[in-house]
């Protein structure tokens, strides 16, 4: 009994700062992964895909189903995580492609408002679908799978945080390679710049749009799984708040810009954590959005956003 009340060494302000930085970068990495889906889809068809948060939640659910099953059957943690990541990313990629075919493609020639409403509708459909099929209760991830961590000068870094940051970096590098070093990436960039012109030179824009949705969804699924493992549970409505935050991150970075989304996600995560750490956790969202408004006031296209001529918008 008395053992628990043993005094601990108080922390120095530097350690406090570093600890908050570690927390912020972890959170920011997740936002960045989700933000990429928004920004890539916007870049290519100028649509805010409101159902993206639900794709992320679906990834989280697929992850819990797969990981629980694999872990219960005695597979080593890294195998569980790897297999679940690949399968859930694949599942979400298919889901997003189907979503695009059913809800967005038929509206390609319609006004942008119709597509936006269709996206909102799909978001509600998917969220309620998750609620009806998976129940209203939180589902537990086997958090015992990845436990522990290490100290560096009084700053605690958990292994789960390492995995999140490591995996985020890996996925971001892969994405950059894909977009800037492959033919399909070139086609994506071309389609984003000018759909008609790229179609004229033989790029199948429908396919490219599909691929873009799939990639964004895959990244969101990875984020969903890592969040589930980090916080220990998933719930059918888990996609809403991170969806809004990631969307803000995409706007902050300059919507349509991939590097911008990564930067925006990281910034929102770090700002949120520092606002909570130094000011008040009550107002952390307020600060994140104040920064967003301030950036947009001075840089209307976001941090990395380019000026685009009116014909594209």
Partner 1 sequence: MKRALSLLAVLMLALALTACGGKKDENKAGAADGIKIGSLGPLTGQYAADGNDMKNGVLAAIEVMGPEMGKLGPVTIQSEDDACDPRQAVAAANKLINEKVTAVIGAYCSSATIPASEPLMAAKIFMITPASTTEKVTERGMPYMYRTCGRDDDQSKAAVKFMTDQLKAKTLYIVDDKTTYSQGLADNVEKLGAGANLKVLGHEHVNQGDKDYSAVLTKVKAANPDVFYVSLQNSASAAPMLIQIARMGIKAKLLAQDAVYHPQLIALAKQAAEGVYLTFGYTDKTTPAYQKFLAAYKKYGEPGAYSAYSFDSTVAYLKAVKAAGSTDPDKVRAEMAKLDFDGASKHIKYKENGDSGSNYVIQVVKDGKFTNYWNPETGELFK
Q: Any residues with CB less than 8 A from the CB of 121 and at least 6 apart, and which?
A: 103
Mutual orientation of helices 183-193 and 159-181 as an angle, nearest 10°? 80
Counting contacts by CB under 8 A, is residue 194 touching partner 1? no
Count of residues that bind partner 1 according to CB under 8 A: 64
Is the alpha carbon torsion for 24, 30, 33, 39 positive or negative? negative
Closest approach of partner 1 to the CB of residue 192, in Å: 24
Counting contacts by CB under 8 A, is residue 109 touching partner 1? no
Interface mask (CB under 8 A) for partner 1, residues 140-169, using x and -? x--xx----x------x-x-x---------
Is the alpha carbon torsion for 290, 292, 295, 300 positive or negative? negative
Counting contacts by CB under 8 A, is residue 289 touching partner 1? no
Counting contacts by CB under 8 A, is residue 123 touching partner 1? no
Interacting residue with partner 1 among 102, 124, 152, 299 (CB under 8 A): 102
Counting contacts by CB under 8 A, is residue 23 touching partner 1? yes
Question: For 6-36, b where at least 16 C-beta lie within 10 A, e where not — what string?
Answer: eeeeeeeeebeebbbebbbbbbbbbbbbbbb
Interacting residue with partner 1 among 10, 113, 200, 313 (CB under 8 A): 10
The residue among 17 and 296 lying less far from partner 1, judged by its C-beta, is 17
- The CA-atom distances, in angstroms, between 289 and each of 24, 110, 181, 255, 269 are 16, 32, 35, 16, 12
Interacting residue with partner 1 among 192, 209, 272, 288 (CB under 8 A): 272
Closest to 146 in 3D by CA, of 71, 200, 249, 46 = 71
Q: Any residues with CB less than 8 A from the CB of 265 and at least 6 apart, and which?
A: 28, 29, 30, 31, 32, 33, 34, 35, 36, 246, 249, 250, 253
Counting contacts by CB under 8 A, is residue 20 touching partner 1? yes
Interacting residue with partner 1 among 121, 135, 166, 300 (CB under 8 A): 135
Closest to 40 in 3D by CA, of 254, 286, 256 = 256
Interface mask (CB under 8 A) for partner 1, residues 42-81, using x and -? ----------------x--xx--x----------------
List contacts with partner 1 (CB under 8 A).
Answer: 1, 4-8, 10-11, 16, 19-20, 23-24, 26-27, 58, 61-62, 65, 91, 94-95, 98-99, 101-102, 106, 126, 129-138, 140, 143-144, 149, 156, 158, 160, 227, 231-233, 235, 237-238, 241, 272-277, 280-282, 284-285
């Amino acid at each position: 009994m008395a053992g628990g009340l043993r005094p601990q060494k108080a922390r120095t302000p530097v350690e406090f700062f570093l600890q908050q930085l570690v927390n912020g970068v972890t959170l920011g990495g997740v936002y960045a992964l989700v933000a990429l889906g928004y920004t890539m889809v916007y870049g290519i068809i100028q649509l805010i895909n409101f159902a993206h948060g639900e794709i992320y939640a679906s990834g989280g659910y697929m992850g819990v189903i797969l990981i629980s099953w694999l872990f219960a059957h005695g597979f080593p943690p890294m195998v569980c995580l790897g297999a679940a990541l690949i399968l859930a990313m694949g599942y979400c990629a298919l889901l997003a492609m189907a979503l695009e075919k059913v809800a967005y493609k038929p509206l390609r020639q319609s006004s942008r408002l119709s597509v936006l409403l269709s996206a909102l509708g799909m978001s509600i459909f998917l969220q309620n679908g998750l609620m009806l099929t998976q129940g209203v209760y939180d589902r537990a991830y086997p958090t015992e799978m990845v436990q522990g961590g290490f100290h560096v000068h009084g700053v605690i870094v958990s292994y789960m945080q390492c995995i999140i940051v490591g995996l985020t970096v890996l996925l971001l590098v892969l994405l950059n390679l894909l977009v800037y070093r492959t033919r399909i990436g070139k086609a994506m960039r071309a389609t984003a710049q000018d759909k008609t012109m790229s179609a004229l030179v033989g790029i199948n824009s429908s396919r490219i749009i599909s691929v873009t949705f799939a990639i964004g969804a895959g990244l969101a699924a990875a984020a969903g799984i890592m969040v589930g493992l980090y916080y220990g549970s998933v719930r059918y409505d888990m996609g809403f708040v991170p969806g809004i935050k990631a969307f803000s991150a995409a706007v902050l970075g300059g919507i349509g810009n991939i590097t911008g989304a990564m930067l925006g996600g990281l910034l929102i995560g770090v700002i949120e954590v520092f606002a909570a750490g130094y000011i008040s956790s009550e107002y952390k969202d307020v600060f994140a959005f104040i920064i967003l408004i301030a950036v947009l006031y001075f840089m209307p296209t976001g941090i990395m956003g380019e000026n685009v001529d009116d014909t594209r918008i």
